[in-house]
Structure 1
Amino acid sequence: FDRAYFSADLLISWQQTHPNSHWLMRAKDNLRYTVIETFSEGDYLIQMPVSPQAQKKNPNLPDTWQARLIECRYEGKTRRYITSLIDDKRFTKDKVAQL
């Protein structure tokens, strides 16, 4: 996915239609979320609101949805990624960060 395009409708629909496929993208600085669970430092299960505009376009969307937020250092900078790879035992933070 294009890093500038973040769509709850697209990503939620993708997950529902392709249950064995996953997505990973950079998190924008203005991402709104609440931490639901901390797996380890810089590795979180988050809940994000679905915008009223998205819900108007697709009334089947939930009010909120969950993803995993991973923070890692790369070339001296902190990078943040969100992904549908929520299982932190199967997909460790380090493995996801290498993608």
Structure 2
Amino acid sequence: MYSRGMADTTIKITEEIRDRLRTLADERGTSTRSLVERLIADIPTEAEAAERTARALAYVRANLCPDLSDDDVQRAQRWRADIAAGRVGARR
């Protein structure tokens, strides 16, 4: 029996990913459905991420670094992207 507000959906995934989902759910003592719900609920939408970023920048400017510029933020974002892409921070 389904609860109110629950919707059925079907997605096509590889058997490998299906098995991985089952393993991850089993390891956490939960169902595949609950695991997927939790994982997806934790990923912010672009609008949510933008709002979170705006709140964080407002806090930093109000409490830590009033002269933090948009250029500083853009440089930090590029630096983070470079780290994530392995362009900096790794031994070559």
TM-score, normalization by structure 1: 0.21
Task: Kindly name which structure, 1 or 2, has the bigger radius of gyration based on alpha carbons.
Answer: 2
Bigger share in strand = 1
Pick 1 or 2: higher relative contact order, CA cutoff 8 A, min separation 6: 1
Higher helix share: 2
Structure 2 length normalisation: TM-score?
0.22
